[in-house]
Structure 1
Amino acid sequence: MTYRSQVLVTFLFILFLFSACRFNPEVQQPGSSALQGIWEEEPLKYEDSLLTHTKHSFTFTCDSFYVTLETTSKVNYYEEECYHNGHWKEYAKGNYVVSHDTLYIIGTYTKENFKQKISGCYRTGQYLPMFLIQKIAPGEVKLMNLQQHLPVTLKLKQRTKCNPQPL
């Protein structure tokens, strides 16, 4: 192989590498248009018979979510100063993906202001629930929590539009 051939092959290889790779976009993805908005979970009919129940309040903006988890428990799982007579709130934020009939939530537990939570009462670390999407209708989304096997019916409180922000 001649010197010119080697240079040409090397140039073509480098050109191929640069054309094969691309950076991720530097703005948010649009997410699911059906989920954009502020959603509140409807109470379960048998909620009072459960030992522990968590009510979800979701905000979906583009490909991001923010959730407030309001828990009522008849059983004390935590230290007394954290238990608050069986009522407490937790917060999480992150991204979500809808794939076929499943809503994947990928996030972390946060403080009330949605800033990073390193320690404190209740859960810290990753928040990774999965929901089976049973029905999407105007103003209502019916989900099945695949980890707790409980239905989650979300009612739309306010519709929002995705306005992608730079990352």
Structure 2
Amino acid sequence: MVMIFLLAFYLSCTRLPNVQGKGEALLQGVWKQDSIANADQLLNYTKHQFKITCDSFYVDLTTYSKVNYYEDSCFNNGVWKEYAKGTYVVKGDTLMLNGTFTKANYKQKVSGCYRNGRYLTSFMIKSSGANQLVLASLNDQRECILALKEKITCVPKEL
């Protein structure tokens, strides 16, 4: 009896292919946030640029701040860039990004100015079209209106 159970269990398992997932077809591309509503009235804001290919994302974050949250050598006159990469999942109307902060070349960042470690962010997908994607951050409810700059076709790569 035990042998039959083990044989059935073994036969029911399938090995997943060792390639990245296809992700969401609609999201594939380079998306850029060109402007922020009422930016001149905000103490700080961040513009996003995403590259989404298959189930992976790369994001460039450009922050503008009137308030210095960092040591003077990092403040850079109130404008700085951060980078992150990882994978994403869409569940219902929610885009969940799970990655790490990186250097500008998307290699791991373990120290330095600004944030390092995990990049965990979620957005509500408010609307999507062929050339525009409207997200709302679940962290601060700020809207992120992205324009498609370049369409990408997913070609899954081996992991």
**TM-score class, shorter:** over 0.9
Displacement after TM superposition at 1:77 (Å): 0.4
CA contact (8 A) 1:31 1:97 kept: yes
CA contact (8 A) 1:42 1:152 kept: no
Instruction: Find the aligned partners of 2:49 and 2:99 in 1 and give their Cα distance.
Output: 15
- Asked whether 1:164 is paired with 2:159, we answer no
Instruction: Find the aligned partners of 1:66 and 1:13 in 2 and give their Cα distance.
Output: 45
TM-score, with length taken from structure 2: 0.96
- Which of the numbers 54, 58, 66 marks the counterpart of 2:46? 54
Q: Aligned with 2:36: secondary structure?
A: coil
Q: Deviation per CA, 1:94-134, whole angstroms, max 9, x where unpaired?
A: 00001110000001100111001111100011111110001
Q: Aligned with 2:11: secondary structure?
A: helix
- Which of the numbers 85, 91, 102 marks the counterpart of 1:110? 102
CA contact (8 A) 2:36 2:47 kept: no
- Which of the numbers 4, 8, 11 marks the counterpart of 1:12? 4
Q: Deviation per CA, 1:56-109, whole angstroms, max 9, x where unpaired?
A: 000000000000000000000001111100000000000000111000000110
- Which of the numbers 71, 76, 96 marks the counterpart of 2:63? 71
Partner of 1:28: 20
Displacement after TM superposition at 1:23 (Å): 3.2
CA contact (8 A) 2:96 2:123 kept: yes
Q: One-letter code of the match for 1:110? A: T
- Percent of aligned pairs sharing the same letter: 48
Instruction: Find the aligned partners of 1:90 and 1:83 in 2 and give their Cα distance.
Output: 12
Q: Aligned with 1:18: secondary structure?
A: helix
Instruction: Find the aligned partners of 1:53 and 1:19 in 2 and give their Cα distance.
Output: 53
Instruction: Find the aligned partners of 1:91 and 1:125 in 2 and give their Cα distance.
Output: 11
Q: Aligned with 1:129: secondary structure?
A: strand
Long gaps (5+) in structure 1 = 1-8
Structure number with greater Rg is 1
| Root mean square deviation, CA, Å | 1.0
Instruction: Find the aligned partners of 1:162 and 1:18 in 2 and give their Cα distance.
Output: 33
Partner of 1:43: 35
Long gaps (5+) in structure 2 = none
Displacement after TM superposition at 1:148 (Å): 1.3
- Asked whether 1:83 is paired with 2:92, we answer no
CA contact (8 A) 1:62 1:164 kept: yes
- Which of the numbers 93, 107, 116 marks the counterpart of 2:85? 93
Q: What count of residue pairs does the alignment treat as equivalent?
A: 159
